[in-house]
Structure 1
Amino acid sequence: MNTPEKKPVEVVLVDDHRMFRSGVRAELGGAVSIVGEAPDVDTAIAVIRDVRPPVVLLDVHLPGGNGNGGIDVIHGCKGLETADGQPVRFLALSVSDAAEDVIAVIRAGARGYVTKTISATDLTRAIQRVADGDAVFSPRLAGFVLDAFGAAAGEVAQVDEELDRLSAREREVMRLIARGYQYKEVAKELFISVKTVETHVSSVLRKLQLSSRHELTAWAMGRRLL
């Protein structure tokens, strides 16, 4: 029995540089479907409200609006849903890796933040994950968010029954995955194979009774383990 081919994720691309938008479109090819573009805050809000895509690929610094760039776009599209009732989700794509930019955009409601050094393959994967409801960050950027939100919550990491279920290696893998590392990056960091990483992640999710990397990040954040 043939499995139906998964349709490319529809994306609205928001960036004030036309050449960059053209480059992204060319690099992604048919892996995603770019259904709209915008160069500024006001145009972006109009296009997103009209198209209602599953994912908006959003630059952080944009002209127009109230001067807050991508944050104004997110605020202007609060509560929007796609045709099938899913929320319109935002993935920041920026040249900036400054902590204040990352934290501000995530606080505004973006589901992830990646830098413009990302490869086309990884960007495609990030778009798909955001469409599926996961949180996605370039490696190391997740630490900014976890530190900021953990500090705001005033919580302290504690040894608990759930954490005690994990082996020392599973805890190492869990921390890196929750920070946004890809499997191959975890493997390189810990000097293990990608297959071993996959095995550990499956074990961690099973032991903690979680179903996704997003839930794992939230779990780790709540305990300030990262």
Structure 2
Amino acid sequence: MTTRVVIVDDHAIFRTGLKADLDPADIAVVGEAGDVDSAIRIIHELEPEVVLLDVHLPGGKGGGGAEVAASCQDLAPEVRFLAISVSDAAEDVVSVIRAGARGYVTKTISGAEVSAAVQRVAGGDAVFSPRLAGFVLDAFGTADVAVRDEELDLLSARELEVMRLIARGYTYREAAKDLFISVRTIETHVSNVLRKLQLSNRHELTRWAGERGLL
């Protein structure tokens, strides 16, 4: 079956070239976006099997590709994200994988390799460029990251959404409006997050989230 794909990159020329390089026999590009806000909207409208996602994007709250992936987790696991970037920086890889991406490849790979990666991600596999594989294993295998994973696992999906907004400086009212829930519900979630993470206030929460690349 043909895999439906949305390409998210802020360079139109790259999107055009990538679309031409993907195998048309197995992949159908059903949409494109060049910034965070339009990407979130289009992904929710089209619900593709795979999103090819650049890490550095304009718009939104400044979170780039990680923000897009995190904002579309309500569509998981039907929609899967494959990051594709010129960057192989540790903070970029870790942030987008933590946000929900299933893989990370660099823009140096060929069209055939991207096509194969799309199919593997669509099938549920995790895919990384060979030059990043060792780094990813090292990064997620450290004791420090293991502890962070355990802490994140304490939070529900909704608590994670609320935590990100509050840590980014949203007021309770702004967070409630953004998530379409009541201020009282936001207060309850924040109280639960602080208790689970053993933090005292939103300033500590902002520092905690920043250290983990979650902002």
**Residue of structure 2 equivalent to 1:19:** 13
Cα shift at 1:29: 4.6
Amino acid at match of 2:29: I
Establish whether residue 101 from structure 1 lines up as the match of residue 92 from structure 2. yes
**Residue of structure 2 equivalent to 1:56:** 51
**Residue of structure 2 equivalent to 1:132:** 123
Cα distance between partner residues in 1 of 2:140 and 2:119: 25
C-alpha contact (below 8 Å) 1:99/1:141 kept by paired residues: no
More helix by share: 2
C-alpha contact (below 8 Å) 2:23/2:115 kept by paired residues: no
Cα shift at 1:134: 0.2
Amino acid at match of 2:37: D
Secondary structure at the aligned position of 1:140 is classed as helix
C-alpha contact (below 8 Å) 1:61/1:69 kept by paired residues: yes
Amino acid at match of 1:10: R
Structure 2, unaligned runs of 5 or more: 148-215
Establish whether residue 76 from structure 1 lines up as the match of residue 71 from structure 2. yes
Cα distance between partner residues in 2 of 1:59 and 1:52: 18
Secondary structure at the aligned position of 1:67 is classed as coil
**Residue of structure 2 equivalent to 1:121:** 112
Secondary structure at the aligned position of 1:79 is classed as helix
Secondary structure at the aligned position of 2:31 is classed as strand
- CA-to-aligned-CA distance 1:12-52 (integer Å, 9 cap, x gap): 00000001101011111514100010000000000000010
- CA-to-aligned-CA distance 1:190-222 (integer Å, 9 cap, x gap): xxxxxxxxxxxxxxxxxxxxxxxxxxxxxxxxx
**Residue of structure 2 equivalent to 1:10:** 4
Cα distance between partner residues in 2 of 1:87 and 1:142: 25
Amino acid at match of 1:46: R
Aligned residues, how many? 144
Structure 1, unaligned runs of 5 or more: 1-6, 155-226
Cα distance between partner residues in 2 of 1:109 and 1:29: 25
RMSD of the alignment, in Å?
A: 1.3
Establish whether residue 41 from structure 1 lines up as the match of residue 32 from structure 2. no
- CA-to-aligned-CA distance 1:146-167 (integer Å, 9 cap, x gap): 222211227xxxxxxxxxxxxx
Listed as ranges, the matches of 1:77-226 within 5 Å are 77-81=72-76, 86-151=77-142, 152-153=145-146
